[in-house]
Structures are given as C-alpha cells and as structure tokens.
Structure 1
Amino acid sequence: MNAIRLGLVASMLFLAGCGDDAVREPENQEGVTSQVETIPVSVRFEDNPTAEALQDRLPLTLSMQDLHQNEKYFYFDEPFPTNPERVGSIRAGDVMLYGDDCLVLFYEDVETSYAYTRIGRVENFTTLAPLLGSGTVELTFQN
C-alpha cells in the first residue's frame, strides 16, 4: 500500500471538467500548492457547493481503494450537495463526486457515460501518477 499525503490548502478552486477532448480551465484561476509525500502538487478547485462542502470537512485522511485501474475512490458516511453532469471525457488528475457520497480521483484518462459532480483538478498530475498505481492509498486532505 502506498502512503500518500495530499495536503489541500482550503482555498476553493476546482476543476471545470471536460465534456469533450479539451480540458477546461477552472473558473477560479487561483492556484493552491499542496504536497504528496515530498512532491509538490498544485490543485485547483471548482467554485461550487460540492467543493465548499469538502473543504468544510477538512482535515481528512481517506483510505482510497482502486477501481478499474484508473481511479481511486472513497465513500463518505454523509452526502454532499451535487450537480451531476455527463462529463464524457475524464482526464488523469480530475477529482469528482460520484452520486452524493463517493469521492473519486482519476489517475488515467477515461471516456464515460456516467454523471459526476466536478470538484477539482490536480495540476502537474504527471508527478503524482507514479504513486497511485493499483492498490489502496492513503490520502490526507488538510487546510
């Protein structure tokens, strides 16, 4: 099991996802610098109620399981506000909510017909990708 620390500074900036092959930039352009193990990672959050609700729950340490060798997920006990949309294309580094209680971090690009609520995007994701692979990882989200 990889131990991964992902610190999210509580400034709201999240992914404004992709419905086609192009990655949209988040509406709020302010960057957040975080750290995964010793690797600095920049995160952008969407400016929406889902992202705000996640940040209200910080700090969090989540044991995220692997699914389909392309995503890590964690089910919360309490639901989040949602605004699901059929996103079509998902890119590595996208952070989304499936349903109203499942946080998903994608580490591979994928085409999907499922609906997700956008939460954010890990920028410079290529530095993080090698740490995710298969298996369960522990991610810590903190202010």
Structure 2
Amino acid sequence: MFVMTVALVTALAGCGRSNGSEQELATTAAAPTANITQESGNLAGDPGTDTSKLPAGAEALEVRFGDDGEPFIMNLDGNPTAEAIAGYVGTASWRLPIYHYDDYENWEVMQYYDIPSRYEIPSNAETVTSEKAGEVYYSEPNRIILFYQDAEVTGEYTRIGSIEDSEAFRSAVEENPVLEGWGNKIVHIDSIE
C-alpha cells in the first residue's frame, strides 16, 4: 500500500509563494521543480522513465491534506496510469504544494495537483462529464484531479482511484491549512510500510 496525498496543483510559477524557504517544501523527490528545489541534488528513488524498475502490486495509496492531516486511503483502479503513479510514490514520497485552491473554475468541487514533468505517466483518457466526491483522476500533462464534491465537469481524464466520501474527507480537503510562511497548502503522498 502507498500513501498518497492527493493534491492537484495548477502550479503557475511564483503564484502564492511568500518568504518561506525552498528547502522547507522540498522534502521529497517529487516537488515541482519549476517552483521548489529538491532537498538534495540527488534524485534518489527517482527511477526516471524506466517503469520496469517500479514497485508493483500497490492497491491503495494513503492521502493526507496538510503536514499534520489525518490519513485517507485511496483505493487504486487497476490500470497502467494508477500503477505508474503508485510505483513512483513507492520510490519517493511526494509532498506537493497547492498554489491555487479557491480562485479557479470549479474550485469548490475539485483540486488540481501537478506532478513534476520528469515522471512519465501513461494515460488512457476518456471524456468524463460527471464525477462523484472522492473520485481521483489523472489529466495530461502530469496532473492529478481530486473531486471532493459531486460535480458535472467535462474533461479528458483517466480515473486512477477513489477515496471514500465522508464528512471527515470533505472537511480535511476544505480545511487544509495554509502552510505558515507560504501562501499555499500542502498535500502528501507516501508509501505505507
């Protein structure tokens, strides 16, 4: 099993940033390189594009909203997109910032989390017109979309899994605190040992 903090970012360079240290946010190999540097210059755990070296068999990821958020389990769909994401998370935890969380279209029903472009993720996108709270999708290029309310948003998505819809889940997403010293929120994706 893996822990996945499901946070989809529409990461625009510099948006929502304040005086925080880049090192504070860069605790994983998956921090968006356009906005956050890595904890070290080494891409330890980053298998690059050779997906044959990724761990196999993950059926779920654990998702936390905020540094101290409660964990939620995302059950994965059995497709190559979900498998690739789980495999990458299995090699290095992801800690992704959310720069835009209440000022883009449909912000009240979903969040975007950008995955660094160095990760190659296959997609089998289909037109989706209706989503349920807790559904998680992949959208090219390298973006995860989490719906935390039922919605009718049309997009080209590959479903990768779902989190059980509950008041606790919706509250965790909506009440995810803004990181002190920064103007953004954080989502964690970690493996479960």
Same fold by TM-score, threshold 0.5 exceeded?
yes
* 2-structure distance, mates of 1:110, 1:95: 12
Sequence identity percentage? 24
Partner of 1:51: 82
Partner of 1:21: none
Residue 112 of structure 1: CA displacement? Answer: 2.2
* 2-structure distance, mates of 1:33, 1:103: 13
Residue 35 of structure 1: CA displacement? Answer: 6.0
- What is the SS of the residue equivalent to 1:63? strand
**Aligned residues of 2:63 and 2:190 also touching (Cα < 8 A):** no
**Aligned residues of 1:41 and 1:125 also touching (Cα < 8 A):** no
Q: 2:138 aligns with which of 90, 93, 97?
A: 97
Higher strand residue share: 1
Q: How many residues align?
A: 119
* 1-structure distance, mates of 2:159, 2:143: 12
TM-score by length of 1: 0.69
Q: 2:3 aligns with which of 2, 7, 11?
A: 7
Gaps of 5+ in 1: 1-5, 14-31
Gaps of 5+ in 2: 5-55, 179-183
Partner of 2:190: 142
Say what the alpha-carbon RMSD is for the aligned residues: 2.6
Instruction: Look up the equivalent residue of 1:71 and give its one-letter code.
Output: M
**Aligned residues of 2:113 and 2:143 also touching (Cα < 8 A):** yes
* 2-structure distance, mates of 1:33, 1:81: 18
TM-score by length of 2: 0.53
* 1-structure distance, mates of 2:141, 2:58: 19
CA 1:97–1:33 in 2, change beyond 3 Å: closer, same or farther?
closer
**Greater C-alpha radius of gyration:** 2
